[in-house]
A and B are shown apart, each in its own frame.
Chain A
Amino acid sequence: MALDEIKIGGMGARRRRVEDNRFIRGKGNYVDDIVLQGMLHMEILRSPMAHARIKSIDVSKAYEIPGVRLVLTGEMMAARNLAWMPTLSYDTQAVLATDKVRFQGQEVAAVIADDPYIAKDACQAIVVEYEALPVIVNPLQAMASDATVIRDDKENQPGNKVFDWEIGDREATDKAFAEADVISKMELHYPRSHPSPMETCGSIADFNRATGKLTVYMTSQAPHIVRAAVAMVAELPEHMIRIVSPDLGGGFGNKVPIYPGYVISILASILTERPVKWIEDKTGNLISTGFGRDVYLKGEMALRKDGKILGMRMNTISDHGAFYADAQPSKFKIGLMHSTFACYDLPAAHLTSTGYYTNKAPGGVAYRCSFRVTEAMFFQERMIHAAADDLGMDQAEFRRMNLVKDDMFPYRTAFGFLTDSGQYEKCLNVGMEAIGYSTFKQEQEEARKRGKLLGIGISTMTEPLGAGNSREYDILGIKMFDSAELRVHMTGKAILRTGAMNQGQGHQTTWAQIVAHELGIPADDITVEEGDTDTAPFGMGTYASRSTPVAGAAVAMVSRKIRAKARKIAAHLLEVSEEDIEWELGRFYVRSNKERGVTIQDCALAAYSNMPDGMEPGLENNAYYDPPNLTWPFAAYFVKVEVDAETGVWDVLNVVAVDDCGVRINPMIVEGQIMGGLTEAYAMASMQYITFDEEGNCIGSNYMDYLLPTAWETPGFELHEVVTPCPHHPIGAKGIGECATVAGPAAFVNAVVNAVSHTGVRNIDMPMMPNRVYEALTTGKDVSGMPPVRISE
């Protein structure tokens, strides 16, 4: 009898998360939980200034404090050629400042002491003399012809420009605009935000002089990349470096880059010959580590009277901070911004992008998104909303007309991506039904008569998840494949290791479900391990929703290799030829006699005790998976709001989210991912942003100033499911971790703009704080979120 797949925790089972048992009991093992014999503690002194020349650093008072073992400065790093390090975007970044500080919070010195209290006291005793320089806090200042050059350390640096980049067909787009009946425009700012994982960054470096081995426990979403980078930067042999990422308290893209703190702790351990622990505080995390977004987006759309989109052109100006440390595939300067409008049948498109250095923290990371697709899709859905309004068309019908139809797949987008599957219109219909779209306009009019402002917002999108195929995607030249290694023990239990890195996604739970699906081994019988570069196979880590599309595929593929070998063993045990064997979940049987069979566990035991003549013993294998394409999930989100006309406060009345992420491995985990993403979308729309004053002071360096929504204000979400399997993924799954963060914000903004559109307002920049909404309502003008900085005329 075949096994019941749900009972063994296979595909589709709402299996409880294996991880939660230890987390909710306080038995997790985070970097800060690790205590090594003789461990010292490191604290970083950060710059209070956003742009200043360092005239002198006096550390003598710090050394007077008992318990201080070592004080590191940029000069000492430079003596070992470690003052600068490469970034993931082929730039360089200061480890400890030598010449200048270039953003508030930059690392200036580090104290290594017997305990963290002493280290912090000693940091306060270090005297740094700064000479203030003009501060640049946005690209508009950076591009001025007389702007101070932030990166004067680089040769041939043209002002503060990081890059110019373009993609698409300029000529075809110009032609589309020439033929347009209506041209619709949109301009907005996607504000800087911070991923804010609950656990900050940290490391424990442990260099053993006797063995020559360096072990670093680290908060990294991509430990294998770190090992490669450390090998190159620190010039240590790769086999003598072991990077271990234990449990991570969230990542959201923030833990992809390699931060100065990690590098300093490594040198500190080498110099002191003691383990050195560095745990960043919350403020350090917020002001110095990889931010998200901070892009000015401007574009226009060529439209035919009847609503058909003819073309789109778009320009982005991005603020990268002091070092270009975006974590993204190397071929693309502004991530996958050109995935914008991928769900629409768009004949012609052109994108130009320019990046600038500013005196702000570096590291435009993919904050819960696949490399800038959040900005891309937000612009798309704001532009679509405005275009429908300009045409006087219904929001849903305008989308329906222009969405790629089911029979058009595979569909080549105007920017060259190949979308391969989806049922966009069905998702739209499911959402419209659930939110009560057909009666909304009437409801809205009646409410207006009673002085109530209701609004509805839609956001539909497909996004490229799961980078990616080796033709197009690499980081620092390393192709973005991933891996899995499966070892089945003789009693039929197993251990699975992958090159991905769990940080809340539930890999321990879902990977085992894939193995259960492929082999019929109960999920509870499978251990999943990740994050130790000495034991796990090489992989590019977890971000950009790539785990299931890439590593998850490798898990399925390695399971199939195991099954192929088990089949040979089964034939041997059943004394028939392999061709006469059939498979059902968990069991091989003889085709002519279904009663005669052996289980996968029987085969496992035989692999160690009774293998066929000439067969290599054991039952283990590995798989490296290079995906043929990205995966393309689809989202259709609907938000209904009510705006208080006297205060600008808006309340969410209803959120409907329809997601098609293909086959769901564990529906409960998928739903959790969507709800988490919707919460972050609501956060961006309502309150979450980091801004800077004219002096470059970060307004948002703590959780009283940088607002994250709590359960208190987060609205409820109604989730719906449509399933279109991914045609190329071995189990038909698509990425899902980030759809809601990406598609969500526009649904909220569109809803609020819809509620106040009778005043003529077309855009309110995020976050839509009550004062901004009130301003829009009372002035009838768009509200720009341009940072509150005076731009000199």
Chain B
Amino acid sequence: MYPSRFGYESPKTVEEAIAILDASGGDAKILAGGQSLVPMLKLRFAAPEMLVDINNIDGLRYINVEADGTVRIGALTRHEDLEYSDELPTASPVLAAAAHLVADPIVRTRGTFVGSVCHADPQGDWAAAMTALGGHIVAQGPNGKRTIEVKDFVIGPFQNALAYNEIAIEAVIPAPKGKSTGSYLKLERRVGDFATASVAVSLDMVGDVVARAGSALAGVGGRTIDATDAVASLVGQKLTEENIKTAAEAVAAAAEPRSDHRGTSDYKRQIVKTFVIRILTGLAESSQKVA
């Protein structure tokens, strides 16, 4: 790899990192897992003046599940930490389902959850999962911390709402209204391929009634697609074959796919619809079993 020339700093604290970013005036990039940034450096698509490596800052690698069910994920938490977490399958089945579909096992050992959300790739899995879950990002800058909802955080392809002197230090999944259920399905041509279509569906259940519904899509638009409105009809309802089909069609209609070498836009909508039906049917069957 022969990138353009760049400076390198390796701060030991978040405050120190923010000071370096602030001083750089916008020409610095945070290096966390590097699984998107380093390939871009290699191809010289990215040529920052300075890399601020945050890997030597202690205390940023954690998954905390709080008593009320809130999940907090630190800036240096690797994808594989989510994949192998014992708590996530119960605390957040959507994240648990997505974790082993992110990139490939090699990338998952190094790449970070928060970094992936910050990268804001329209095909990124975590931004979609976080959107479906109604999560937010905690950003820290020279003037302290602020909270940004993920749907406002990802402002476009490869664009996030961080100021140049802010670091996304934590991702937060709010406490569910009832039991957190849901899943994540992805069609890819090969492990590590960008998604042809990905679907996240998150349902908070009280008994067999939907208390909250969220959905988001990756790979089927120029940005992460928030399809939460499309599943709003499920709230207050039990899952039935009929309302599952209605929701699936609404989610498919929310997709904005383009025809390309991965398939036509109609094909991608068909995948979205199929995946929503599969996820919701699976949830309906398991809630019946419980009931």
Contact = CB atoms under 8 A, between A and B. Distances in A.
Interface of A: 43, 116-117, 120-121, 124, 283, 646-649, 686-687, 691, 699, 702, 704, 707-710, 712-713, 769-771, 774-775, 788
Nearest to A709: B190
Given A709-B190, A712-B104, 9 more contacts: A121-B4, A121-B5, A646-B270, A646-B274, A687-B190, A710-B104, A712-B105, A770-B196, A771-B262
Contacts of A770: 187, 189, 196, 263
A686 B105 CA distance: 21
A699 B194 contact: no
27 contacts: A117-B5, A120-B44, A121-B5, A124-B44, A283-B43, A646-B270, A647-B187, A647-B274, A648-B267, A686-B189, A687-B189, A704-B192, A704-B194, A707-B190, A710-B104, A712-B104, A712-B190, A713-B190, A713-B191, A769-B262, A770-B189, A770-B263, A771-B262, A774-B263, A774-B267, A775-B264, A788-B261
Contacts of A702: 43
Nearest to B191: A712
B194 A707 contact: no
Contacts of B192: 704, 710
Interface of B: 2, 4-5, 43-44, 104-105, 187, 189-194, 196, 261-264, 267, 270-271, 274
B193 A771 contact: no
A702 B104 CA distance: 16
B262 A120 contact: no
Contacts of A769: 189, 262-263
A694 to B, nearest CB: 13
A634 B131 CA distance: 55
A691 B5 CA distance: 33
A699 B4 contact: no
Q: Which 10 A-B pairs have the closest CB atoms?
A: A771-B263, A712-B191, A120-B2, A646-B274, A771-B267, A707-B190, A117-B2, A687-B189, A116-B2, A710-B191
Contacts of A710: 104, 190-192
A771 B104 contact: no
Contacts, number: 60
A182 B176 CA distance: 67
Chain B: interface secondary structure? loop
Contacts of B262: 769, 771
A699 B261 contact: yes
Contacts of B189: 686-687, 707, 769-770
Nearest to B274: A646
A617 B194 CA distance: 67
A686 B264 CA distance: 18
Contacts of A117: 2, 5
Contacts of A649: 187
A253 to B, nearest CB: 23
Contacts of A708: 190
A704 B104 CA distance: 12
A788 B262 CA distance: 12
A713 B188 CA distance: 11
B270 A774 contact: yes
Contacts of B264: 771, 775
Nearest to A702: B43
Nearest to B3: A117
A646 B270 CA distance: 8
Contacts of A707: 189-190, 193
Contacts of B5: 117, 121
B239 to A, nearest CB: 19
A691 B262 CA distance: 12
Nearest to A688: B190
B267 A775 contact: yes
Identify the interface centre among B5, B263, B274: most chain A CB within 10 Å of its CB. B263
Contacts of A647: 187, 270-271, 274
Contacts of A712: 104-105, 190-191
Contacts of B193: 704, 707
A27 to B, nearest CB: 23
A614 to B, nearest CB: 64
A771 B220 CA distance: 14
A770 B43 CA distance: 30
A647 B192 CA distance: 19
Contacts of A713: 190-191
Contacts of B274: 646-647
Contacts of B271: 647
B191 to A, nearest CB: 4
Nearest to B185: A647
Contacts of B267: 648, 771, 774-775
A515 B113 CA distance: 56
A53 to B, nearest CB: 26
A283 to B, nearest CB: 8
A117 B44 CA distance: 12
Identify the interface centre among B2, B104, B271: most chain A CB within 10 Å of its CB. B2
A646 to B, nearest CB: 5
A115 to B, nearest CB: 9
A272 B187 CA distance: 53
A538 B288 CA distance: 75
Contacts of A704: 192-194
B5 to A, nearest CB: 7
A698 to B, nearest CB: 12
B1 to A, nearest CB: 9
Contacts of B44: 120, 124
Contacts of B191: 710, 712-713
Nearest to A701: B43
A647 B262 CA distance: 12
Nearest to A282: B42
A286 to B, nearest CB: 13
Contacts of A687: 189-190
Identify the interface centre among B4, B5, B190, B194: most chain A CB within 10 Å of its CB. B190
A702 B1 CA distance: 14
B240 to A, nearest CB: 20
Contacts of B196: 770-771
Contacts of B261: 691, 699, 788
A712 B43 CA distance: 26
A705 to B, nearest CB: 9
B282 to A, nearest CB: 14
A712 B189 CA distance: 12
Nearest to B1: A281
A701 to B, nearest CB: 10
A708 B261 CA distance: 16
Contacts of B263: 769-771, 774
A111 to B, nearest CB: 12
A286 B62 CA distance: 40
A117 B261 CA distance: 34
A317 to B, nearest CB: 22
Contacts of A691: 261
Contacts of A120: 2, 44
Contacts of A43: 2
Identify the interface centre among A43, A646, A709, A788: most chain B CB within 10 Å of its CB. A646
B193 to A, nearest CB: 6
Contacts of B2: 43, 116-117, 120
A774 B267 CA distance: 8
A679 to B, nearest CB: 12
A649 B105 CA distance: 22
A293 B194 CA distance: 26
A124 B2 CA distance: 12
Contacts of A283: 43
A335 to B, nearest CB: 28
A687 B190 CA distance: 8
A730 B217 CA distance: 63
A691 B264 CA distance: 17
A122 to B, nearest CB: 11
A116 B3 CA distance: 10
A262 B194 CA distance: 35
Contacts of A686: 189
Contacts of B105: 712
B49 to A, nearest CB: 15
